[in-house]
Amino acid sequence: MDFKKLASGIYERSKALILQPKEEWKVIEEENVTMNLVVRNFLLPLLLVATLASLLGRIIQKVNIGLDGNLLMADGLREFFGFLLSVYASTYLVNELVKSFGGEKNLRRSANLVIYSTVPSLVVSMVTGLIPALYPLGVLGLYSFYLFYVGIPVLFDVPEQKHVGFFLTSALLMIIVFAFIRYFLTTFLMAFA
């Protein structure tokens, strides 16, 4: 796999989603890429960079007060696997939920909607993780919800009158899933740290 081409593809897709989301969702819809490929070639590299940036920021921040390697490792694992598990769980939830709102189940489209919507959150996580003083900018990660909202009518045939309900229900469930998985992994990993 050509690293430069992979990095360039991730950068271009992320930039297009952030700057021109409506147009980029149409491009994504035209692609016939499996969930596994999107995870492997887009989500995992982006998530790895975000996790490493966050760990590096914590290391830099704690150099003067002492490092606890086990705690840092547990925190990095929690962050990485928590986000990954949350994305998978959210993908399956959205896929099941879409039928209740008049759409047709499609796991590939659900994965695209959930995974690509996380771009702003991951980019903000990279910046705030590396430079903790910029943590208040974390609010910009909420743009992920806008990407999700804009992607719904492109990827799914949810009736217009049910669009907002589908969005709000999906967003609420994804927040609950993320919080539950984060809590569970924090509790589990801290038992071993």
Sign of the Cα torsion 10, 14, 20, 25 reads positive
Q: What is the pLDDT along the chain (193 residues), one digit of tens a residue?
A: 688 999 999 999 999 999 999 999 999 999 989 999 999 999 999 999 999 998 888 787 765 555 666 777 777 888 899 999 999 999 999 999 999 999 999 999 999 999 999 999 999 999 998 888 888 988 999 999 999 999 999 999 999 999 999 999 999 999 999 999 989 888 887 776 5
Given a contact cutoff of 8 angstroms between Cβ atoms, the answer to whether 150 and 21 are in contact is yes
DSSP 8-state code for residue 33: -
Q: Write down the pTM of the prediction.
A: 0.91
Given a contact cutoff of 8 angstroms between Cβ atoms, the answer to whether 39 and 7 are in contact is no
SS3 sequence, 62-106?
Answer: HCCCCCCHHHHHHHHHHHHHHHHHHHHHHHHHHHHHHHHCCCCCC
Sign of the Cα torsion 113, 115, 116, 119 reads positive
Q: Alpha-carbon distance 161 to 101, whole Å?
A: 9
Query: CA distances (Å), 104 to each of 119, 142, 154, in order?
Result: 25, 27, 13
User: For the residues of 118-187, what is the DSSP string, one character each?
Assistant: THHHHHHHHHHHH-GGGGGGGGGGGHHHHHHHHHHHHH----GGGHHHHHHHHHHHHHHHHHHHHHHHHH
Helix 107-117 with 69-100: angle, nearest 10 deg: 130
pLDDT at 188: 81
Question: From the centroid of its chain, how far is CA 58?
Answer: 21
Given a contact cutoff of 8 angstroms between Cβ atoms, the answer to whether 104 and 98 are in contact is yes
